[in-house]
Amino acid sequence: MELLDYFLKYVKIDTMSAENTDTIPSTNKQFDLAKVLAKDLEDLGLENIKISKNCIVTAVLKSNCNSKLKIGFLAHMDTIPGFSGTNVKPNIIKNYDGNIIKLNKIELNPKQFPFLLDLKGKTLITTDGTTVLGADDKAGIANIMAMLKYYKDNKDIKHVNIHIAFTPDEEIGAGIQAFDTKAFDADYAYTVDGGYYNEINYENFNAASCNVKIHGLDIHPGSAKGQMKNASLILMEFNSLLPVNERPEYTDMYDGFNHLCEMKGAVGEAIASYILRNHSLKLLEKQKNDFINACEFINKKYGKGTCEIELKDSYLNMKELIDKDPRCIDRAINAIKNLGFTPSFLPIRGGTDGAWLTQMGLNTPNLGTGGYNCHGPYEFACLEEMENVVKILIEIAKER
Is residue 375 left, alpha or beta, with left meaning phi > 0 and alpha meaning psi from -120 to 50?
A: left
Catalytic one among 170, 193, 353, 379? 170
**In the complex, minimum distance from the CB of residue 76 to Zn ion, in angstroms, rounded to a whole number:** 6
Q: Which stretch binds Zn ion (CB under 5 A): 100-108, 193-201, 294-302, 377-385?
A: 193-201
Please state whether the peptide bond connecting residue 25 to the residue before it is cis, i.e. omega within 30 degrees of 0. Answer: yes
CA dist 11 to 33, 85, 138, 393, Å? 9, 9, 6, 21
Q: Which of residues 134-153 bind Zn ion (CB under 5 A)?
A: 136-137
Strand partners, 392: none
CA dist 142 to 73, 75, 335, 356, Å? 12, 9, 19, 23
**In the complex, minimum distance from the CB of residue 274 to Zn ion, in angstroms, rounded to a whole number:** 24
**In the complex, minimum distance from the CB of residue 181 to Zn ion, in angstroms, rounded to a whole number:** 19
Q: Which stretch binds Zn ion (CB under 5 A): 186-194, 298-306, 364-372, 381-389?
A: 186-194
Q: Which stretch binds Zn ion (CB under 5 A): 10-18, 187-195, 253-261, 383-391?
A: 187-195
Q: Which residues contact 293 (CB under 8 A, 6 or more apart)?
A: 241
Please state whether the peptide bond connecting residue 14 to the residue before it is cis, i.e. omega within 30 degrees of 0. Answer: no
CA dist 88 to 3, 121, 167, 299, Å? 18, 24, 20, 52
Closest CB to Zn ion among residues 234, 374: 374
Listed residue (335, 10, 255, 247) closest to 146, CA to CA: 10
* Interface pick for Zn ion out of 14, 78, 169, 193 (rule CB under 5 A): 193
Q: Which stretch binds Zn ion (CB under 5 A): 64-72, 148-156, 189-197, 360-368?
A: 189-197
Closest CB to Zn ion among residues 197, 274: 197
Q: Which stretch binds Zn ion (CB under 5 A): 45-53, 131-139, 250-258, 330-338?
A: 131-139
> Which x/- pattern over 27-56 shows residues binding Zn ion (rule: CB under 5 A)?
------------------------------
Closest CB to Zn ion among residues 135, 235: 135
**In the complex, minimum distance from the CB of residue 100 to Zn ion, in angstroms, rounded to a whole number:** 27
Q: Strands of the chain (E only): list them.
A: 47-51, 57-61, 70-76, 91-93, 101-103, 106-108, 124-126, 161-167, 188-192, 199-201, 206-215, 257-265, 269-278, 307-313, 344-345, 366-367, 371-372, 380-382
Active site residue 78: yes
Binding residues with Zn ion: total (CB under 5 A): 3
Distance CA(207)–CA(186), nearest Å, equals: 26
Distance CA(166)–CA(147), nearest Å, equals: 15
**In the complex, minimum distance from the CB of residue 301 to Zn ion, in angstroms, rounded to a whole number:** 44
Label residue 280 exposed, middle or buried (CB < 10 Å: 0-12, 13-18, 19+). middle
Catalytic one among 78, 136, 193, 203? 78
Closest CB to Zn ion among residues 193, 379: 193
Asked if residue 246 binds Zn ion (CB under 5 A), the reply is no
Active site residue 170: yes
Catalytic residue positions, numbered: 78, 170
Chain positions contacting Zn ion, by CB under 5 A: 136-137, 193
